[in-house]
Structure 1
Amino acid sequence: MKNNFLVLVFLCLAVSAFAQVKKAAVKDLAFMSGTWVQKSDWGDLEEFWSEPKGESMMSSFRCVKDGKALFYEFVVIELEEGLPVMKMRHFERGNMAWEDKEKPLLFPLVTLKGKLAVFEMKDKSVRLSYRLIAKNKLSVILEEKDKNGQLKKDIFSFTRKLY
């Protein structure tokens, strides 16, 4: 009987840990704000996140390799039906958009726990996790499924750029 109770408690905790966020405010994501940089195999990465304002945040990102910008991202997080939703577009050099002008990539917030925010596309093909691990350290994990459904994971360790 005691073992059954422990199993039930564990299952309840596990379900609640992975439960989808039902309501959150954009201001809860303020820990992402700042200018973040990293040197990686991709190139020199720079990502700027604004402070939350007007139930929104915005971000710009660029990847520079061998002295040339390879691609950019423009991202907004807006509150929709009580839930922050990340809306992303990619651009190549020349400001040429990858996505259709009417269809940005949408990532609703699925987990918010302390200084961890996880955004995931509805089809679960791409997931972005942002975790502030120290005042000046932001971990970003990009998980995406390839054409064969295999999960690929890229981990970025950004440092806050201090001016």
Structure 2
Amino acid sequence: MKYFLFVFFLFSLSISAQNTTTLPEGSSSPNATLSDISWMEGNWSGEAFGGITEETWGPPQGGSMMFSFKLVSEGKVSFYELGHIREVNNTLIYELKHFHGDLKGWEEKDEVQQFKLVKVDGNRVYFEGFTFEKVSGNEINIYAQIGNEDGSSEEVTFNFKK
């Protein structure tokens, strides 16, 4: 019985701790520009998945902000992500590709993961399944819905510091 209550308590916490969202069906992304997320620019580091994370965001140029991500675990690169946030039709779209440590891609050659903008709200920018939060000038959080092998998903928090 104690185990059941503990699991229920953890489940309740996870429901109330949601920081990610999706675009309501039939809705379109709101107007936004790269200036709404330009505070992401810089070199960021943190810890996640049992390793060290690095994320670097370039300045807004040419209608996009490019980024790279690296996870180092047990002294080896576990995976990379490369991508950008682009201005398209007066809104933003977050796009990325994953690569193993040897740079072999996860997605097919022409496949890109795309996440539509849901809303811009103060110090947070919400994309479908991802939220970027400015904590301070030297700290950000990225909340991501990560899929599990069993078809479920969980929200993971990446805390980065400059």
- Shift in Å at residue 117 of structure 1? 0.9
**Alpha-carbon distance in structure 2 between the residues aligned to 1:29 and 1:113:** 11
Q: Which has the larger radius of gyration?
A: 1
- Which stretches of structure 1, 4 residues or more, deviate above 2 A after TM superposition? 18-21, 39-42, 144-151
Q: Indicate the SS of the match to 2:70.
A: strand
Q: After superposition, where does 1:1-163 map in structure 2 within 5 Å?
A: 21-120=29-128, 127-146=129-148, 150-160=152-162
Aligned residue type for 1:143: Q
Structure 1 stretch displaced more, 139-148 or 57-66 = 139-148
Query: Which structure exhibits the higher relative contact order, with contacts defined as CA atoms closer than 8 Å and separated by 6 or more residues?
Result: 2
Secondary structure of the residue aligned to 1:96 is coil
Instruction: State the identity %.
Output: 28
Alpha-carbon separation, structure 1, partners of 2:70 and 2:101: 10
Query: How many angstroms does 1:149 deviate by?
Result: 5.3
8 A Cα contact 1:21 1:112, kept in partner = no
What is the aligned length?
Answer: 137
Three-state SS of the structure 2 residue aligned to 1:118 is: strand
TM-score with structure 1 setting the length: 0.77
Letter in 1 for 2:57: W
**Structure-2-length-normalised TM-score:** 0.77
- RMSD between superposed Cα atoms in Å: 1.8
**SS of match in other structure, 1:31:** helix
Native 8 Å contact 1:20 1:111 kept in 2: no
How many angstroms apart in 1 are the aligned matches of 2:84 and 2:49? 26
**Unaligned regions of 5+ residues in structure 1, if any?**
1-17, 121-126
1:50 aligned partner, one-letter code: G
For residue 52 of structure 1, give the secondary structure of its aligned residue in structure 2: coil
Task: Give 3-state SS (helix, strand or coil) of 2:62's partner.
Answer: coil
Conserved in 2, the CA contact under 8 Å of 1:27 and 1:55? Answer: no
Q: 2:4 corresponds to which residue?
A: none
